[in-house]
């Protein structure tokens, strides 16, 4: 799927979630599902394999999205059943960017070894907002490989304040 098609899918799904009055919840649920899909090769393989029966894929999705809103479950099911599972993360990222744009904001994907509480998210959003000159919405991905600190990505800009990077820099100096 090319960038134009991804934008088209994201726009259509954004319109559905917004018209149902569930955009905020759908954004968060889709973000979590897309990151889970990226981080789980077995799950991704089951959902993209054309040899896996549709009923099995539906069962896997039902198990994973049992607590999600029906809109989120329907969106994920639609993307998977139409054969676009490989593009789901890109579609979700474009949907999130579109939703943030309607609020005059940008999305920062932040990798952290530990969950961040609301106060930490607010301070981080403020600091990143000052760095990029825009309102920032923080989406946290728990990534134990970070070890400590954070890695923030806003569009093509990456701000790496992780312990792993600092250790790698120290190794180069020694």
The residue ranking higher by pLDDT, 163 or 82, is 82
- State the DSSP string of 4-19: HHHHHHHHHHHHHHHH
pLDDT band at 127 (very low <50, low <70, confident <90, very high): very high
Mean local confidence (pLDDT), 143-157: 89
Q: Which among 66, 46, 64 has a CA at the least distance from the CA of 56?
A: 46
Q: Which of 49, 78, 97 is the last residue of a domain?
A: 97
| 157-162, strands of its sheet edge to edge | 135-142, 105-112, 149-154, 157-162
Which of 69, 97, 125 is the last residue before a domain boundary?
Answer: 97
Residue 87: per-residue pLDDT: 95
Note whether 49 and 28 are same-domain residues: yes
Q: Can you give the pLDDT at residue 167?
A: 80
- The β-bridge relationship of strands 105-112 and 135-142 is parallel
Mean pLDDT over each residue of the chain, to the nearest integer: 91
Rg value, the chain, Cα: 17
| Same-domain check for residues 90 and 110 | no
Question: 125 and 92, same structural domain?
Answer: no
Asked if 10 and 87 sit in the same domain, the reply is: yes
Token digits for 49?
A: 């394999």
Last residue of a domain, one of 67, 97, 127: 97
**pTM for the structure as a whole:** 0.81
Residue-range definition of the domain harbouring residue 136: 105-173
4 pLDDT exceeds 90?
A: yes
């Amino acid at each position: 799927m090319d960038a134009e098609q991804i934008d088209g899918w994201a726009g259509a799904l954004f319109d559905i979630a917004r018209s149902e009055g569930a955009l905020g919840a759908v954004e968060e649920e889709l973000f979590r599902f897309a990151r889970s899909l990226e981080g789980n090769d077995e799950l991704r393989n089951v959902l993209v394999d054309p040899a896996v029966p549709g009923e099995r894929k539906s069962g896997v999705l039902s198990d994973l999205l049992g607590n999600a809103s029906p809109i989120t479950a329907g969106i994920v099911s639609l993307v998977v059943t139409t054969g676009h599972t490989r593009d789901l993360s890109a579609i979700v990222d474009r949907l999130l960017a579109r939703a943030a744009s309607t609020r005059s904001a940008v999305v920062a994907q932040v990798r952290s070894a530990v969950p961040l509480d609301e106060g930490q998210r607010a301070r981080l959003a403020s600091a990143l907002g000052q760095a990029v000159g825009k309102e920032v919405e923080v989406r946290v991905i728990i990534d134990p490989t970070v070890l400590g600190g954070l890695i923030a990505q806003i569009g093509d800009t990456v701000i790496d304040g992780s312990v792993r990077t600092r250790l790698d820099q120290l190794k180069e100096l020694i």
